[in-house]
């Protein structure tokens, strides 16, 4: 079986094992596949770390030794049952399917890289199960492992082959509006309309954005009302905030929390800053090492890119640990129906990741 065929076979099986975020039973089915491929590569079995009911898969490094941490997630944004109507498909060297790009192919790249190492005892690999919903249960575990690492290599998808050396940080808010119900036909004036207040905030809060600095404030989900003839007494507005600096995230956070509702409607702000930014500079040395490795291997020199989306790299870089993100596959369409990867690009990427790991281990 050729390398491309082997990748395609493994990827088809991993995509078929659907992994909605935090779904423990389905996550464990994917873990069984990863365990079967990873144990020979690492020369040791992984352990499960269960946090608040969510299982995460971990190959631990030798205790007390400086290690390189490979980081990725197996959860996707797609609900169980998606593969029934949109299964894994292959068209020549391109593969499509839910989660194929973000980021199941990246996990295969990591395992393939480890399998080529002469000694993987100082390499750790963590596969989390809730990255797509904010890494609520996995963040502490990520930070624990990263704090003892010499470097963190994140297997998230590349941007057209480019590493992601700068990511915006993000905040998630649920604004809960509490009013007073009333009959919409008989006495609407006696009500306090939570939906009307939500609408006002949805129009005004985006003005907190600063396009010049790359700060965005976006209403994304709204829920209100129970019936046509009832003044809504409850409403919830979800906000997505992205910024390139922690200062901007803090500015928006303060502004959201200090806003005053009108018409006697109360508001409770839930949530807050979720991920700090991955600021430029955390990856500079690793990018340089990667370019040296690429030259030695006869591979194209890697490019870099700044992106708006956040990842778990934001957490590890904020600890001051050297972090390189976007080491995963070439493709496009994350979180969409047209998500795809280039199967021929997986093995060169695995070679590059392996070479970088070896270079980092030689330094210690």
Question: Whose CA is closest to 69, among 359, 348, 357?
Answer: 357
Confidence of residue 280 (pLDDT cuts 50, 70, 90): confident
The fraction of the chain above a pLDDT of 90, given in percent, is 94
Q: What is the model's pLDDT at position 282?
A: 86
Binned at pLDDT 50, 70 and 90, residue 66 comes out as: confident
Give the separation between CA 16 and CA 318, rounded to whole angstroms.
35
The number of angstroms, rounded, from the C-alpha of 287 to the middle of its chain's C-alpha atoms is 21
d(CA 198, CA 265): 10
Q: With bands split at pLDDT 50, 70 and 90, how would you rate the model's confidence at 81?
A: very high
**Residue carrying structure tokens 């409403």:** 235
Contacts of 363 (CB under 8 A, 6+ apart): 150
Domain 169-275 has CATH 1.20.140.10: no
Domain parsing of the chain, residue ranges: 3-167+277-362, 169-275
Tokens representing 341 are: 């990867």
Spatial separation of the C-alpha atoms in residues 42 and 125, rounded to whole Å:
9
Which H or E element spans position 216?
A: strand 216-224
Q: Collapsing DSSP states into helix, strand and coil, what is residue 66?
A: coil
- DSSP for residue 211: G
Share of the chain above pLDDT 70, in %: 100
Question: In whole angstroms, what is the distance from residue 117 CA to residue 128 CA?
Answer: 23
Q: Show the tokens assigned to 320.
A: 């001051």
Q: Is the pLDDT of residue 364 over 80?
A: no
Domain 3-167+277-362: which topology? Answer: Aminopeptidase (3.40.630)
Q: Is the pLDDT of residue 107 over 80?
A: yes
141-157 pLDDT tens trace: 999 999 999 999 999 99
116-125 residue pLDDT tens: 999 999 999 9
Q: What is the DSSP string of 42-59?
A: HTS--EEEEETTEEEEEE
């Amino acid at each position: 079986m050729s390398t491309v065929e082997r990748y395609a076979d493994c990827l088809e099986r991993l995509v078929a094992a659907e992994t909605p975020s935090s779904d423990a039973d389905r996550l464990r089915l994917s873990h069984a596949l990863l365990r079967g491929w990873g144990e020979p590569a690492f020369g040791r079995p992984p352990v499960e770390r269960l946090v608040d009911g969510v299982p995460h898969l971990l190959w631990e490094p030798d205790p007390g030794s400086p290690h390189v941490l490979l980081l990725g997630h197996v959860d996707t944004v797609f609900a169980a049952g998606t593969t029934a109507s949109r299964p894994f498909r292959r068209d020549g060297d391109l593969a499509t399917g839910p989660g194929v790009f973000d980021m199941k192919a990246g996990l295969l790249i990591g395992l393939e890289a480890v399998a080529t190492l002469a000694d993987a005892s100082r390499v750790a690999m963590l596969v989390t199960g809730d990255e797509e919903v904010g890494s609520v249960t996995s963040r502490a575990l990520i930070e624990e492992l990263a704090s003892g690492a010499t470097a963190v290599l994140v297997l998230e998808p590349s941007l057209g082959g480019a590493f992601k050396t700068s990511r915006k940080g993000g905040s998630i808010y649920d604004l809960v509006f509490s009013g007073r119900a009333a009959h919409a036909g008989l006495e609407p004036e006696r009500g306090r309309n939570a939906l009307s207040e939500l609408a006002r905030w949805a129009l005004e809060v985006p003005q907190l954005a600063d396009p010049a600095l790359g700060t965005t404030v976006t209403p994304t989900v709204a829920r209100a009302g129970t019936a046509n003839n009832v003044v809504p007494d409850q409403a919830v507005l979800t906000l997505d905030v992205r910024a390139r600096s922690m200062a901007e995230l803090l500015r928006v956070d303060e502004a959201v929390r200090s806003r005053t509702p009108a018409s006697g409607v109360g508001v409770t702000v839930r949530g807050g800053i979720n991920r700090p930014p991955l600021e430029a500079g955390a990856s500079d040395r690793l990018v340089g090492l990667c370019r040296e490795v690429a030259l030695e291997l006869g591979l194209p020199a890697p490019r870099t890119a700044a992106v708006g989306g956040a990842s778990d790299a934001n957490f590890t870089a904020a600890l001051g640990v050297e972090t390189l993100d976007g080491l995963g596959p070439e493709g496009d369409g994350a979180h969409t129906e047209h998500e795809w990867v280039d199967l021929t690009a997986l093995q060169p990427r695995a070679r590059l990741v392996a070479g970088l790991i070896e270079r980092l281990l030689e330094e210690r």
